[in-house]
Chain A
Amino acid sequence: MDLENQKRVKDIAEQFGPENVVVVLGAAEGEAAGLAAETVTAGDPTYAGPLAGVSLGLLVYHICEPEMKEEVDADIYDEQVSMMEMVLDVDEIISEMTAIREQYTKY
């Protein structure tokens, strides 16, 4: 994750309280989604950014996961996401995201 974005994530978690924050990703691949999810839960795995060694434990989902689709307006989802969803490996993304949440999410 961009270093600047890591700083914003850290600031927002501090400002609003990590239990009130949800991170929603749109990564194109499972691996990228997993890395971003790991960064906002366990800390920056590359140890390069402001979240290195900072375990925020934030709740994190990919927009294509069923938990998100259930809550989002179906027409808006269709219009904004469904076209791209067809070319993504959603199963891989779900598996990566679920593993990270089970391991690192605190809320």
Chain B
Amino acid sequence: MAILQGKKAIVIGDRDGIPGPAIELCIQSAGADIAFSATECFV
């Protein structure tokens, strides 16, 4: 069953890991709708 298709996605990226915009592009390709996206810095 699809996890992302048709869902509202909250993206919490990481400046030192995978940044928000990269995750957005990925999960949009799986049919998710981006509700909010941020890139955090854990340092």
Contacts and interface: CB of A to CB of B under 8 A. Distances in A.
21 contacts: A2-B38, A2-B40, A5-B12, A12-B36, A16-B8, A22-B4, A24-B27, A26-B11, A26-B22, A28-B17, A29-B42, A63-B18, A68-B4, A71-B2, A71-B27, A71-B30, A72-B27, A80-B22, A80-B23, A81-B26, A85-B18
Interface string A1-38: 11001001100100010001111111111001000100
B23 A26 contact: yes
Contacts of A76: 25-26, 29
A63 B18 CA distance: 8
Contacts of A64: 18
Main DSSP-derived SS at the B contact region: mixed
A27 B38 CA distance: 12
Interface of A: 1-2, 5, 8-9, 12, 16, 20-29, 32, 36, 40, 58-59, 61, 63-64, 67-68, 71-73, 76-77, 80-81, 84-85, 88
